[in-house]
Amino acid sequence: MPSPPSLLGWWREAPPAPRRALVAAALGWALDAFDVMLFSLTLAAVIAELGLTKAQAGALGSITLLGGAAGGLLFGWVADKFGRTRALMGSVLLYSVFTALCGLSQTFWQFAFFRALLGLGMGGEWASGAALVSEWWPPHSRGRALAWMQSAWAIGFAGAATTVGIVLPRYGWRAVFFVGILPALFVLWVRRNVEEPERWRALQAERASGAAPKPALDTPASHGARRAVFLDIFRQPLLPRTVAVTVMNACTLFGWWGMNGWIPAYLSLPVAQGGIGLTPQTMSRLVVFMQLGMWLGYISFGYITDVLRRKPVYVTYLLGASVLLPLYGSLRDPLWLLLLGPFVAFFGTGFYSGFGAVTAELYPTAIRASAQGFTYNIGRIASAAAPFTVGTLATSQGFGVAFAVAGAAYLLAAATWTFIPDTQGAALD
């Protein structure tokens, strides 16, 4: 079926259920970004009040990512077993509650505990939301649907920056985290309005009836006669693609969190500590402007890859990020940082719109959410070193060197595409 020619024709022609699924996943992802990024945006104030070192502050970011990895694995299983929408609701509740509790932290270890549990929800939202959208939308518009879902992160990030610019100077960083409880209200709307995908419901009905399973995986061991199970991602023919996309994702997440986990602090920390020394209000404006580039990167990637092959576009974005991020870390003039920021975010983030489609097409329905959760979140475990590494390097070598290391991770990610199959446009089983 050909793609509608107009910009939003694919949306207007879609039935209500896929639309609601996309809205739910997008809002959940935006609110996820809102809650998770409050820490990076208040980091300079948290360091000052709690007396943290840059290494400790980076460790808090790494702990969040480790929690996110565990959450992605856990909620991927929950989504496959109990439903995409149930997993979505549970993840939103987790990150909302524990974001608010971060505002009560008095010590590094209290903060670490709350950030770890917040991370569980953060990781779970992507695994359930990506599977929900991938299964509701057909191949000819799946790229655009996932691009709009992914672009919501930039909106949530911008909302967090705006909130910090307003709340932090007046009420302090603790009040900023208390605002993070608000996304919990979103769960009520999801419960009433979002249906499970037809593919998942059909699979559950088949399991409940005890009917013979339909072939879902063609391996030498199965000869197409059994349904896929999670461990099949570690067997032929799925093992090579599992390794490749996991390594690719680890590298991109290392670069992304090395960049976005520290850019707000880079802009806010005093010059004597290696920062630019901007006020919270000015920092928030620069970060909000940066999100414009991030949003355009997400959206453009989805539309471009519905016309061009995904692999060369993916590699182009990654190479652009590998060059621009080290350049950003070498600048000190706020005007140049303002102008370059959107381009860094465009190339350093936009390709994530394709990751959900890549993994959706590589794995069968019975294990899709679990496989997506594994490849995304094992990558996140590896990338958990990024906030700590960048913080440590920023202390010893300066932010220029630290951001250059993060940029090198994007370059390595581009190289991994040599081993990833091109399944663009494949129909889901």
Domains and CATH numbers, the chain: 15-194+229-419 (1.20.1250.20)
Rounded Cα distance between 406 and 338, Å, is: 20
**Contact assessment for residue 56 and residue 387, using Cβ atoms and an 8 Å cutoff:** no
Q: What is the pTM of this model?
A: 0.74
- Asked if residue 386 has pLDDT above 60, the reply is yes
Say what the alpha-carbon torsion angle 316, 420, 124, 188 is, to the nearest 10 degrees: 70
What residue spans of 194-309 are helical by DSSP H?
198-209, 239-260, 263-268, 280-304
Rounded Cα distance between 162 and 146, Å, is: 25
Rounded Cα distance between 129 and 127, Å, is: 6
Give the CA count within 13 Å in the CB-facing half-sphere of 259. 33
Bigger pLDDT: 245 vs 147: 245
Rounded Cα distance between 412 and 247, Å, is: 9
**Contact assessment for residue 94 and residue 117, using Cβ atoms and an 8 Å cutoff:** yes
Q: Please give the pLDDT value at position 218.
A: 47
Q: Which stretch of 212-226, 229-243, 247-261 has the lowest confidence by average pLDDT?
A: 212-226
- Asked if residue 216 has pLDDT above 60, the reply is no
Q: How confident is the model at residue 429 (pLDDT cuts 50, 70, 90)?
A: low
Reply yes or no: is the peptide bond before residue 237 cis, omega within 30 of 0.
yes
Q: Please give the pLDDT value at position 103.
A: 92
pLDDT in tens, 334-366: 899 999 999 999 999 888 887 877 887 888 877
Say how far residue 211 (Cα) sits from the centre of its chain. 37
